[in-house]
């Protein structure tokens, strides 16, 4: 079967599910993951504002810009403090070239 034809019985079809859990912890985890990939505040905002990124955009829609702004800044500060104190939680992270947010060392 060609890839462009829909098959309702395709066992390999990706299906998103919703899981119960704490919304704030999920949002923190998303931000942490992107920080560890090297995203700075500006790049994080692009993810939250872009509807293509459904999870981050859903946080923005549900909680608003003030919540997201506080979340991003708090998590960037938390990671910067961990780096400054040499406690990266097992992750190899270092300060970025511009002196801004922590980034993931590759």
pLDDT in tens, 33-74: 999 999 999 999 999 999 999 999 999 999 999 999 999 999
Question: Comparing 19-23, 75-79, 102-106, which segment has the lowest mean pLDDT?
Answer: 102-106
d(CA 55, CA 105): 25
Can you give the pTM of this predicted structure? Answer: 0.66
Give me the numbers of helices (H) and strands (E) for the chain, helices first please. Answer: 4, 2
Q: What was the pLDDT predicted at 104?
A: 41
């Amino acid at each position: 079967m060609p890839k462009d034809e829909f098959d309702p019985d395709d066992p390999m079809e990706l299906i998103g599910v919703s899981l119960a859990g704490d919304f704030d912890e999920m949002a923190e985890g998303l931000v942490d993951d992107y920080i560890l990939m090297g995203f700075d505040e500006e790049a994080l905002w692009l993810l939250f504002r872009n509807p293509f990124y459904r999870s981050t955009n859903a946080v923005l829609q549900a909680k608003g810009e003030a919540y997201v702004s506080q979340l991003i800044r708090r998590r960037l500060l938390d990671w910067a403090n961990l780096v400054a104190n040499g406690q990266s939680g097992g992750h190899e992270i270092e300060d970025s070239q511009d002196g801004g947010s922590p980034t993931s060392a590759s």
